[in-house]
Copies of this chain bind each other. A is one copy, B any other.
């Protein structure tokens, strides 16, 4: 079999394949707000059935997993492909140049919430299975699809799901296409992820907003309380001051430090991707901060008046949302405990709510199967993939490496300026089709 046959077939079916993707994109599926989840899982199930997969919805304590399998022989090599059908909320909506849930093509890009993260990548995998069958015939390996509906909400039920379905999910390799390709445009093979812990801080002052003059200096100000509290969490150099935060952090190995110094890097490209002209990190600083160091991020801070002009109040409440990206072997449960302890010490009245967490993961670059994938990806893109020890973002990758006990690789298909989680999220039309080719290449190579 030659990849060119697949390419030709995909080329011929472009319109139909785009339309299939658009159908899925138009269907909202915002897990954080429980919008459209049932409709989307049903739609996806139907799509798997349509390509001949033995499929079903598997209930969890949250949104269902859409599961599909196409089995040759139980003993053949089994590839488990993981993706997610939920998307981030679309706000701030007025910053979108086209409606967030109406896929719109401009300058070779599909703009839509969820197109890169993760519906376009997941659809590339589905259509790869379809294309492979139509062009070549039976797949050379077993394929299992696991599409969850809560990744954007921190995958609160995926670990339990995997624990409870070990036999069903038995596989030799887990393969995920999520997140963006390397800034240079080169393909990525990622061997792990940063973990995540999402918390919300709630401070309460008076029972109502007070007049900032008549009660100024008298009524407590919860916004100041959270500002002061946040001030205790970092030093001027950005080091995190939560006691014990770094205790379990693995120091980068010499190999990792070495790897980082050889990765392709263009500061201007990064500046363009993040939309920040003043960006000026060195290569080593960039990769170290992105893949080997944890973060302590303020994702939202809301208190008091935010409208036009002046409103002179002492707010009665203040709320901060934070996420921490954790690095192997930081355990989010342990970090949460330390975080709460820190809050209780510095601001006893402030309430900490956890909005989910995820452990970090790593897969060894020395495994044979990793080398096969890397070669298959190279063949699809005609370019050497960038092998990186960790993704900056988080995926529930540990459920495969730690719970299922299977190696796991992440091969993103989205362009690096996909703006996932942001207004005007997009996926290059070309990246969508190349994702189909790449999946076929991986299936073929693993079958050999």
Contacts and interface: CB of A to CB of B under 8 A. Distances in A.
Contacts of A227: 227, 230-231, 298, 301
Given A33-B309, A310-B356, A391-B213, A297 B221 contact: yes
A307 interface: yes
A204 to B, nearest CB: 9
A213 B196 contact: yes
Given A276-B219, A297-B216, A300-B303, A313 B422 contact: yes
Interface in A206-237: 206-221, 223-224, 227-228, 230-231, 234
Interface in A282-309: 286, 289-290, 293, 295, 297-309
28 contacts: A32-B309, A32-B311, A198-B310, A205-B276, A206-B274, A207-B276, A208-B422, A210-B421, A211-B421, A211-B422, A212-B299, A212-B323, A213-B394, A214-B391, A216-B295, A217-B293, A218-B270, A219-B274, A220-B278, A221-B298, A227-B231, A230-B231, A297-B312, A298-B303, A299-B313, A310-B321, A310-B323, A312-B421
A355 B309 contact: yes
A307 B91 contact: yes
Contacts of A302: 301-303, 306
Given A227-B227, A356-B310, A305 B323 contact: no
A270 B215 CA distance: 9
A167 to B, nearest CB: 32
A362 interface: no
A290 B216 contact: yes
Contacts of A152: 310, 312
B275 A316 contact: yes
Given A32-B309, A196-B213, A218-B281, A299 B314 contact: yes
A419 to B, nearest CB: 6
A89 interface: yes
A323 B318 contact: no
A270 B303 CA distance: 23
B32 A308 contact: yes
Contact of A213 (B213, B231, B316, B393): B393
